[in-house]
Amino acid sequence: MRALPESVKQYLLVTGNYWAFTLTDGALRMLVVLYFHQLGYAPLAIAMLFLFYELFGVVTNLIGGWLGARIGLNRTMQMGLVLQVLALLMLALPDKYLAVAWVMVAQALSGIAKDLNKMSAKSSIKTLVPKNQQSALYKWVAILTGSKNTLKGLGFFMGGALLTIVGFQQAMLTMATGLFVVVILSQLLLKKDLGKAKNKPKFKDIFSKSAALNYLSAARMCLFAARDVWFVIAVPVFFVSQLGWEHHQVGTFMALWVIGYGGIQALTPKLIKFAPEVLNKIASFWGATLVVVTLLLLAALNTEFDLATVMVAGLLIFGAVFAVNSAVHSYAVVAIAKEDGVSMDVGFYYMANAMGRLLGTVFSGLVYQQYGIEVCLIVASILAAFAAVFVLKVKVNTDG
């Protein structure tokens, strides 16, 4: 470590911090979905438990980018870690105290924590990569994003396994303890001025004035709503209620899905190379491909093929195409963000990401409960089509 350049050391520290947080975030989501389904909650009721998680993510990204530019990304990253520890401790209480309102408040803290941490990690890369090295920026963003999703997949597996082995409350205490150690190490090792803007931005500056960033944010919102409208609530509940899978089986499959998805994200710079000026066309092509894949899965559900085989194969193909879309979008926002106060632009973009997750989560529970998995897929294909159209308007300027 001592022989490495300072920028690489900080990148590794940021990535390690992000990995540790993401493990607990993935495990927490899987634990809440499976545990409250086990307690008899309907799909829409489970979705409502995540309402504040996603809603506060929207607000956090909008304000967090401004806050990071003023006080430094190391501090916003630390705030995220501490809030996650508090959320886990709140959920470690006995069952009789886990009222819906209490769980929603804990999820709100976790949502704030997740987006403070993610915004800080993604924004910091812009400050660590030399100007005009777009290929390096593409690679570093893809590695961070892909590895994060791989760890989130491991978190899904960890959540399902912990629920089976030690139970809900003990799982929360275990994760809170581990994350607290990361808080201490992060405080000691991260640079104190990471990402702090030279010119203090005003609060009114949180809303983007860049047409490219606005279109990209709209595309991101639709892209993630297209995924979550069937993936977040509908898929786990479908596997348990319709296919008879056990909790650890659901957790294992979801883990492998996200791990594979993250691996493809990390490899995207090697698999798909393009000049920044044609990024919008590349992103739109892959968005259109996602629409086709979703509609093909919908059609396959109405054939005589084994239902479990169709769902598993469809999810794997959807995940691969979605991973490419997400990686290209993630590079685009860091490429077009202003270097001074980068967290302002990245925060605005991830605000739209959180809005997409919010819409997707709510409609995942609502649409699945009322109409089933097939209508979830129809909605997903429509949203993916909107994402493909919006991203065509995005122009990347690499002059500085």
Type of residue at 259: I
Q: Averaged over 231-250, what is the pLDDT?
A: 83
Q: How many domains does the chain have?
A: 1
Measured torsion, CA atoms of residues 123, 124, 127, 128, in degrees rounded to the nearest 10: -140
Q: Which residue has the higher pLDDT, 400 or 348?
A: 348
CA-nearest of 25, 19, 18, 29 to 231 is 29
Range of the domain at 91: 6-189+206-391
**What is the pLDDT, as a whole number, of residue 2?**
61
Residue 397 covered by a domain: no
- Asked, for residue 197, whether it belongs to a domain, the answer is no
Q: What angle do CA 346, 278, 260 make, to 5 degrees?
A: 60
* Arithmetic mean of pLDDT, 91-104: 85
Long-range contacts of 197-205 (CB under 8 A, 24+ apart): 197/69, 197/70, 197/340, 197/341, 197/344, 198/340, 199/340, 199/341, 200/69, 200/70, 201/66, 201/69, 201/70, 201/341, 201/344, 203/66, 205/66, 205/344
Alpha-carbon distance of 85 to 270, in angstroms, equals 37
Judge whether residue 130 has pLDDT over 60: no
Is position 136 within any domain?
yes
pLDDT of residue 351: 82
Give mean pLDDT, residues 191-205: 59
CB proximity list for 351: less than 8 A, separation 6 or greater: 58, 59, 61, 62, 65, 217
Q: What is the mean pLDDT of the chain?
A: 81
Angstrom distance (rounded) from CA 125 to CA 293: 32
In a domain, 396, yes or no: no
Is residue 285 included in any domain, yes or no?
Answer: yes
Nearest 5°: the CA angle 15, 20, 23 is 120
pLDDT tens per residue, range 351-398: 888 889 888 988 888 888 889 889 999 999 999 999 999 999 887 665
Examine residue 399 and state whether it is found in any structural domain, yes or no: no
Summarised one tens digit per residue, pLDDT across range 259-277 is 888 788 878 888 887 777 7
Q: State the Cα–Cα distance between residues 377 and 373, nearest whole angstrom.
A: 6
Kindly state whether residue 365 falls inside one of the protein's structural domains: yes
Query: Which span out of 89-103, 108-122, 146-160 was modeled with the highest average pLDDT?
Result: 89-103
Distances in whole angstroms, Cα of residue 262 to Cα of each of 115, 161, 240, 332, 370: 18, 20, 24, 18, 31
Higher pLDDT, 126 or 41: 41
Please give the average per-residue pLDDT across 152-176, as a whole number.
Answer: 87
Of 83, 109, 137, 112, the C-alpha closest to 342 is: 137
As a whole number of angstroms, the distance between CA 183 and CA 342 comes to 24
Structure tokens at 377: 């897929």
Q: How far is CA 212 from the centre of its chain?
A: 21
CATH code, domain carrying 98: 1.20.1250.20
Assigned domain for 195 exists: no
